[in-house]
Structure 1
Amino acid sequence: MRRFIALSLVVAGVLVTSPPAAAGGGTLIRRTSYGIPHVLADDYRGAGQGLGYAFAQDNACVMAEIVVTLAAERSRWFGQENEASDLHHQRLNQSSVVERQLARGPSKQAKDLVRGYVAGFNRYLTEKGLPTACRAYARPITEIDVWRRVHQVAGLTGSEGFQEQLVSAQPPGSAVTAPARVATERPGSNGIALGRDATVPGTGMVLGNPHFDWDDTWRFYQHHLTIPGELDVSGAGLYGVPVVNIGHNDRLGWTHTASEAQTITLSKLTLVPGDPTSYVVDGKAHRMIAEQVTAGGTTRTLYRTPDGPVVEDDRALQWTGTTAFVLRDANHGNLQVVDQWLAIARARSVSDLHKALVRHQALPWVNTLASDATGTAYFGDVQVVPHVTDEQRTRCDAGTPIGLVVLDGSRSDCGWGSDPDAVTPGRLGPGRLPHLVRRDHVSNMNDSAWLANPAAPLTGYPSIVGDVGTERSARTRVGLDMIGTNDFTLSTLESAMVGNRNLTAEQGRAAVVAMCQANPSLPANDGQLVDVRAACAALAAWPGTGDTGEAGRGAYFWRSFLALTGRPGTSLWQVPFDPADPVRTPRGINANDPGVQRAFAEAVRMFAAAGVAVDVPLDAVQQYEGIPIHGCRGPEGCFNVISVPGPPRPDAEPGIPHGTSFVMAVELTGNGPRMSSMLVYGQSADPASPHHTDQARLYAKKQWVKGEFTEREIAANPDLSVRRLR
């Protein structure tokens, strides 16, 4: 029998004393400052109900858009430019992949959580009616809608990112034009886990800093779920998925970063001469599977093999009379992520966490960084990875160098293998995937696992998991430098996060300023001389950070200039990359290189053409609802990533497309967790909500929200409100 502690709350001036869950009937939703819901329930269904209700209060229209997207109805409501999305999702829906995987399990707890989430969301709609802003397309949601969202999240960096290339793949002679492969900002993150040797109090600490699109449907929602004796987890999860993706319990904190491990492979098919929809494997001809898909007012026949759908772009992956390409996604059908994140939430130590990752092996495309109350830090890339060994990559290489694994599809021995410890056949087993336990620190800033801790390099793993001995990004190098040999407190960890260091500026601004002061006119790419004195003065006065206000004048010009230095023939660095010194190299901008000087002149020209002053402050180009947003781009060597590109365009808006979203700094002590957070764009995507910009204003001032985890902390919140769902 569960033991419940009494809870005393003051609600609208009335003292309410009740047990913490359904002993008095129902689920409690306690909202604290900034609209953060703390859901207290007897079971998983109740926890899901409370979360679904709270999320509907804040973001019913965003969920309606998610549902419309996954139901393949975007074209109807948002325009014909959504045809590719509709065809892609209708194809998935026709395949019944979600329904088939549901029949095989997730667990009862996971299903109850989703069932409750749907009930809570729909209850809010029943009580309040459909929101006016989305009444035309909003409807009550179903469990299948939520499980489709789970599947979409699992495939985010796989097939979900190749929608146009998948639904436009057609045999030669088709009127459908193959799209270009367009590079976009992919999910990224910074993660630092500190052990007892790296913290002043000898505790464990975690800094989580995911970088996601700020588009409404890919935001994070902050929440706290409690089932006494079963689950007590606080943090944030992606919209529409009823779990905590990044967070903490009373003994363990964790975060994720986007992994360099590849979760998809391509197979290059050899086609039967004269028949572009038939292919040869081991000398035997096979016909592709034709699928007729109708969505968005378009009917199209799409093709696949048992390994996956045919994919095409207008460059390396063209479907010709002799070859075609198939995309195989290891996360196709992955609904186990809900159980995986529940298992992480229930883990009480780094050891428990690793066992949970090995037991489920369902994380879709992320590394995990964690620390616990014993001061033990952990890094692991134990996730879903296709079973492709280095021997197989060499033997089966199809000769298509596009940055992805492309295997010879004409040989059956070039398909995915399997390991005996793999949870699902076709994947690398946990024994082939890197993990590291330390007393000092581990980190990841989206490079491979190699330098999770430079003192203990991770090597010897299949190359599909990530490379070793190669240049690390400027963001990785600044992160490792921030950690250094520092002993952290929670306060200094917070300060490091928003310090807005810019590594390239630290290493090269002085040299560039000296160069342009000595050369007030520099040649552009066409040889014409450009007056660069104003830009030079702006950089001379700029302190070299990603801060806003007067300190931000010159920051945007630096970003724009640096973006132009990557052209062929430019030797940017004075000290090139040295694999024996990967944390400190490359370094020092080679300001005397002609290519660097031309880039400087071209940047001045672009600012003039766009009508933008070279000393424009970051405030003018990085805004959320008119609020200046500090931070800078990863390639500049910035930890606090705000991905506003440069050089400027005349039609550019000052919005934030991608970057720092939910930030969590947590210390795990013997007396419980101490946590600070920032959800930069707030709990609600609705501009009318008081929680749409409240945290952005805090972020602009580098202020944090103090986490409330215990019943006493929640009850003491001055903005507490309570809703009971019976």
Structure 2
Amino acid sequence: MLVLLVGSQSNSSSPSSTEILWDTYGVPHIYGKDAKSAFQSFGWAQMQSHGNLILRLYGQARGQGAEYWGKEYLESDEWVQTMGIPERASKWYEAQNPAFRSYLDAFAAGINAYALKHPELIDDEVEMVLPVRPVDIIAHEQRVTNFTFIVNPESVKETSDRTNPVGSNGWAIAPARSASGNAMLLANPHLPWSDLFVWYEAQITAPGIDAYGATLVGLPVLAIAFNNNLGWTHTVNTHDGWDAYELQLKDGGYLFDGKVQAFETEKKILKVKQDDGTLRSIPLVVQRSIHGPVVEQKDGKALALRVVGLEQPGALEQWWDMARATKLSEFETALKRLQIPMFTVMYADRQGHIMHLFNGQVPIRSQGDFKYWEGIIPGDTSTTLWTKAHPYTDLPRVVDPPSGWLQNANDPPWTTTFPAALNPADFPPYMAPQFMSFRAQRSARMLDEDKKISFEEMIKYKHSTRMELADRLLDDLIPAARKHGDELARRAADVLEAWDASANADSRGAVLFSFWAEEMDFDSAFSTPWNQNSPRTTPDGLADPPRAAKALSTAAAKVEAAYKALDVPWGDVFRLRSNNVDLAANGGPGSLGIFRVLNFAPASDGRFSAFDGDSYVAAIEFSNPVKAMALTSYGNATQPGSPHVGEQLQMFARKQLRPVWRSRQDIVAHLEKREVF
């Protein structure tokens, strides 16, 4: 059991003890006497910062959310149970190597020890999830990676449109392009600001590790991190790790290679908490084909789901070993296990190496291109059934390109640098699609145009709100509005001409342009479509200038009616809101070609509130000592009463990062409290 010994702010500690030094931004700096103690303290720290959220997420990972909290969690439970997450988590737990399994045990012990010592700080509504078991951690990780990021209920419903709503930016800059001569790394995931997507920032120090970074709440290891020698970040890659197979039903089973195969059937009972506190039982029949679980059945056909990575239980240990690596060869030794089922890896190190890896478990498919496998796949033949994944050597990978820079903004690996270092023709056509979004084009433009990038410039570029879409189309839209538009469209054109093409808080014209973009159908809007031979300058031009002018008039009418002015500042309409904080936002949707991504939802007052986008940012230079600045946009806690809920939003609004304190001297100089175990 984890026991709190002292709570002073003293700097002295015995080597036999483990401690957490909490800095003034609520970041825990964990000093473990051994790895097991570090994991235990990390569990304790996460509970202190996010206890209610963690317990709710673990309850959902058990597939018991409706039993604990009511019918609104029933759909989640049906998904978790149909995908077999609880049973598979038990197998994965047993499959861990004994040492790492003991670390998972310790993380769970830290969670439970905190809850035992501070029951008054845990909401009554979630305390029934206690005690947490190590298998809950595995189930949560599986739900997050395999059954949220790779596939989720929404993506199954929209099989023909697999656009992943989550995203990220990542940069790796070699010494040749760095003003200081040191390699640099930019980590910048864009995720929703709630639920299982919340980032938690921490430092973990123990024999063999001294890593700083962030992880998704509830995970026991850092998923984006750096140490004194190297660092990496992840972006959501264009990885197709699941397929929906259409089965032909016959005689109670399904046809496969001309024979009727029986479904594997399992009957489960889901419990749903009623308003009066009683439990109602709902039967759930799970059918599985050779492809995977059945998710839909109608008109004599069924849809079965096949998902990668369900035989690879070692993602958490791989992340742990990536953070312990001291050079590229050690880092790649961990990567080669391919236990992490997806996510691009962007890497930089003190020796000056940079790397981009299209990481993931990519099925070896017998036929078809990327688009083919996005559709419904015939499930009546073994020719379409994949059973193996590509080895590490088959994956798109770039190390130390002549350009001196690498970027990924959720675009395919072919556009990671220019001149191009990868040829799609050298890979199977299903490996990744071909496109380059406006955000990726903006990303590459900023890197390519500055031949010597300083640390400060990298941070400045990170906060760029310039719209690549505006740069591409204003020269066509403004003349179109003046030639084909009505009086309102012409007034709108004047506003756009005076605009700075950015989405800063004081930018006048950004609201109007974004409303115009909402009115347009960009699938058919461009006169020159995207071309793989001109990936950074296409698409371009307006295919139908009169229609674009009419759309501008429509957008202008909406803006003027809602905000009384066509040139209303961006920050008057788009807001950053948390608790009692209400600030003018800067940044916007990546679809507009903005590098600083913020996504907004309509608010009751006619404005829009950010709920998603730039979440954790870390800028790292591998100098001696390492220089780093970071920000967790919404603060490093969600637990009610914590002073760290939403506290970094003011800096976020000012486009600022905060210094990362890694040395004991710096941490103690900014100490909030000290806990010794």
* TM-score where L is the length of structure 2: 0.89
- 231-240 vs 677-686, which moves further: 677-686
- Equivalent residue in structure 1 for 2:467, among 494, 502, 508: 502
* Other-structure match for 1:465: 431
Of 541, 553, 556, the residue aligned with 1:604 is 556
More deviation, 607-616/349-358 = 607-616
What's the offset of the Cα at 1:212?
0.8
Match of 1:290 in 2: 265
- Deviation of 1:690 after TM superposition, in Å, equals 1.4
Q: Do structure 1's residue 108 and structure 2's residue 98 form an aligned pair?
A: yes
Query: How far 1:499 moved relative to its partner?
Result: 2.1
**Pairwise CA distance, 1:181:** 8.1
Q: CA deviation at 1:653?
A: 6.2
CA 1:540 to 1:413, structure 2 compared with 1: closer, same or farther past 3 Å? closer
Tell me if the contact between 1:251 and 1:372 (Cα under 8 Å) persists in the aligned partners.
yes
Alignment equivalent of 1:199, drawn from 160, 175, 178: 178
**Cα offset for 1:650?**
6.8
Give the letter aligned to residue 17 of structure 1: S
Deviates more, 1:593-602 or 1:190-199: 593-602
The question of 1:264 aligning with 2:259 is answered no
Q: Indicate conservation of the 8 Å contact 1:288/1:304, yes or no.
A: yes
Q: Does structure 2 conserve the Cα–Cα contact (< 8 Å) formed by 1:610 and 1:649?
A: no
Match of 1:544 in 2: 501
Matching residue's letter, 1:682: G
Match in the other structure for 1:219: 198
1:331-410 to structure 2, matched below 5 A, reads 331-358=309-336, 360-389=337-366, 392-393=367-368, 404=374, 406-410=376-380
Distance 1:696 1:214 in 2: 12
Name the structure 2 match of 1:660: 614
Q: How far did 1:331 drift?
A: 2.5
Deviations 1:50-108 (A, max 9, x none): 1111111111111121122123333355542332111122345586111112222x233
- Structure 1 residues 633 and 250: alpha-carbon distance in aligned structure 2, compared to 1, 3 A threshold: same
Q: What's the counterpart of residue 275 of structure 2? A: none
CA offsets per residue over residues 104-130 of structure 1, 9 Å max, x none?
2x2334323322221212222112114
Cα deviations by residue, 1:177-203 (Å, 9 ceiling, x for unpaired): x89988786221111111111111221
Residue 562 (structure 1) aligned to one of 517, 521, 524: 517
Which residue is equivalent to 2:49? 58
- 8 Å contact from structure 1 (residues 642, 656) kept in 2: yes
Aligned ranges for residues 276-675 of structure 1 at < 5 Å?
Answer: 277-295=252-270, 296=272, 297=280, 298-312=282-296, 319-321=298-300, 323-358=301-336, 360-389=337-366, 392-393=367-368, 404=374, 406-417=376-387, 426-438=388-400, 440-459=404-423, 460-467=426-433, 470-486=434-450, 487-518=452-483, 521=486, 531-532=488-489, 535-548=492-505, 550-551=506-507, 553-566=508-521, 570-573=524-527, 575-587=528-540, 589-590=541-542, 593-607=545-559, 614-619=566-571, 620-625=573-578, 626-644=582-600, 654-669=608-623, 671-675=624-628
Aligned residue type for 2:514: R
Is 1:721 the counterpart of 2:676 in the alignment? no
Cα-to-partner distance string for 1:498-550 (whole Å, 9 max, x where unaligned): 1212111223235433443455627xxxxxxxx345544543443111211x2
Greater shift in the superposed pair: 623-632 or 445-454: 623-632
Q: Is 1:119 equivalent to 2:138 in the alignment?
A: no
Q: Which runs of 5+ in 2 are unaligned?
A: 1-5, 273-279
Q: Which residue of 2 aligns with 1:527?
A: none
Q: How big is the shift at 1:15?
A: 4.7
Q: How far apart, CA to CA, are the structure 1 residues paired with 2:564 and 2:224?
A: 39
1:679 aligns with 2:657: no
Given that 1:11 and 1:720 are in contact with CA atoms closer than 8 Å, whether structure 2 keeps it comes out as no
RMSD between aligned alpha carbons? Answer: 2.8
**Sequence identity percentage:** 24
- The alpha-carbon distance between structure 1 residues 656 and 181, as it changes in their structure 2 partners (threshold 3 A), is farther
Distance 1:130 1:655, change over 3 A: farther
Q: What are the Cα deviations for residues 412-434 of structure 1, in whole angstroms up to 9, with x where unaligned?
A: 233214xxxxxxxx211112111
Cα distance change on mapping 1:405 and 1:64 into 2, 3 Å: same
Distance 1:451 1:135, change over 3 A: same
Deviations 1:23-47 (A, max 9, x none): 333x110112311111010222211
Write the deviation string for residues 338-360 of structure 1: whole angstroms up to 9, x where unpaired.
011012111222232222211x1
Q: Secondary structure at the match of 1:362?
A: coil
Aligned residue type for 1:236: A
After superposition, where does 1:226-265 map in structure 2 within 5 Å?
A: 226-228=205-207, 230-265=208-243
1:28 to 16, 19, 22: 19
Q: Which runs of 5+ in 1 are unaligned?
A: 1-9, 166-177, 313-317, 418-425, 523-530
Q: Tell me the TM-score normalised to structure 1 length.
A: 0.84
How many positions carry a matched residue from both structures? 653
Instruction: State the one-letter code of the partner of 2:570.
Output: L
CA shift at 1:659, angstroms?
A: 0.8
Q: Distance in 2 between matches of 1:28 and 1:264?
A: 42
- Give the conservation status (yes or no) of the 8 Å contact 2:216–2:223: yes
Deviations 1:462-509 (A, max 9, x none): 233202xx4311011000001014211111110100121211122323
1:210 aligns with 2:189: yes
